[in-house]
Chain A
Amino acid sequence: SQTIHQWPATLVQPVGSPLSLECTVEGTSNPNLYWYRQAAGRGLQLLFYSVGIGQISSEVPQNLSASRPQDRQFILSSKKLLLSDSGFYLCAWTTGGGTQETQYFGPGTRLLVL
């Protein structure tokens, strides 16, 4: 069966510091991968998605970036965090292909920028 991991679970960082969040998927190959951000009491905002190694699509202009160095690894980064980057970050995966498949979510990372 497939499993998705995210770490760290929680993170408190000062403004201006760098960020690296990691997401890995087990039990599947060539998945589509997604990064979402969820503000308190709000819905999910898609930040990035990837259909393959090195292929990243950005949905929202911001100071975040994403990379996919391996088939089942997705990383969210920032060089300098802003207060507005605080939120709940979720990684999701789905099987690749042309049809609309269900997205399955990881446990999330709670980021607080002070």
Chain B
Amino acid sequence: EDQVTQSPEALRLQEGESSSLNCSYTVSGLRGLFWYRQDPGKGPEFLFTLYSAGEEKEKERLKATLTKKESFLHITAPKPEDSATYLCAVGQGAQKLVFGQGTRLTINP
């Protein structure tokens, strides 16, 4: 059965303090790994899709990387507005996604 595990569950950083979020997965044939950002009370907002090991994508202070067993979301010099829950998901057949539990990120000014 496909599984996605995110760590840590929660992370508190000071503004400007860089760090990484982890997403480990077990899937029979990766059909894409997806990162989303979710603000409280809102729907998830798409950030990145990665399809193959070694692939990297960047957007502002965020950079996503992918290996055969895990993905990292690196946050460089974060700002308070980066505070959110970050969700990772892997693609299954029939265009379904399996989501991890998320990492709740708090950036203190």
On A, residues with C-beta under 8 Å from B are 32, 34, 41-46, 49, 51, 57, 59, 88, 90, 94, 100-108, 110
Do B43 and A101 have beta carbons less than 8 Å apart? no
The CA of A32 and the CA of B100, in the complex, are separated in Å by: 21
Q: Inside 8 A of B36's CB, which chain A residues have their CB?
A: 105
A43: contacting residue among B41, B45, B95, B99, CB under 8 A? B99
On B, residues with C-beta under 8 Å from A are 4, 31-32, 34, 36, 41-46, 49, 87, 89, 91, 94-102, 104
Do B43 and A43 have beta carbons less than 8 Å apart? no
Q: Inside 8 A of B97's CB, which chain A residues have their CB?
A: 44, 46, 103
Q: Inside 8 A of A49's CB, which chain B residues have their CB?
A: 94-96
How close is A11's CB to chain B, nearest CB, in angstroms? 14
The CA of A71 and the CA of B96, in the complex, are separated in Å by: 19
How close is B35's CB to chain A, nearest CB, in angstroms? 10
Sample of 19 more A-B contacts, CB < 8 Å, known A43-B99, A45-B99: A32-B95, A42-B102, A43-B100, A43-B102, A44-B44, A49-B94, A49-B96, A59-B96, A88-B41, A90-B43, A101-B95, A102-B34, A103-B34, A103-B46, A103-B97, A104-B46, A105-B36, A105-B45, A108-B42
Do A108 and B43 have beta carbons less than 8 Å apart? yes
Q: Inside 8 A of A59's CB, which chain B residues have their CB?
A: 96
Do B43 and A105 have beta carbons less than 8 Å apart? yes
- The SS class assigned to the A binding surface is strand
How close is B13's CB to chain A, nearest CB, in angstroms? 19
Q: Inside 8 A of A105's CB, which chain B residues have their CB?
A: 36, 43-46
Do B31 and A100 have beta carbons less than 8 Å apart? yes
Q: Inside 8 A of A45's CB, which chain B residues have their CB?
A: 99
With contacts A104-B46, A107-B42 taken as known, whether A94 is within 8 angstroms of B95 at the C-beta atoms is: yes
With contacts A43-B100, A46-B96 taken as known, whether A106 is within 8 angstroms of B87 at the C-beta atoms is: no
The CA of A57 and the CA of B95, in the complex, are separated in Å by: 12
With contacts A49-B94, A105-B44 taken as known, whether A43 is within 8 angstroms of B49 at the C-beta atoms is: no
Can you offer 19 A-B residue contacts whose CB atoms are under 8 A?
A32-B95, A42-B102, A43-B87, A43-B99, A43-B101, A43-B102, A44-B87, A44-B89, A44-B99, A45-B99, A46-B97, A49-B96, A88-B41, A100-B32, A101-B95, A103-B46, A103-B97, A105-B45, A107-B42
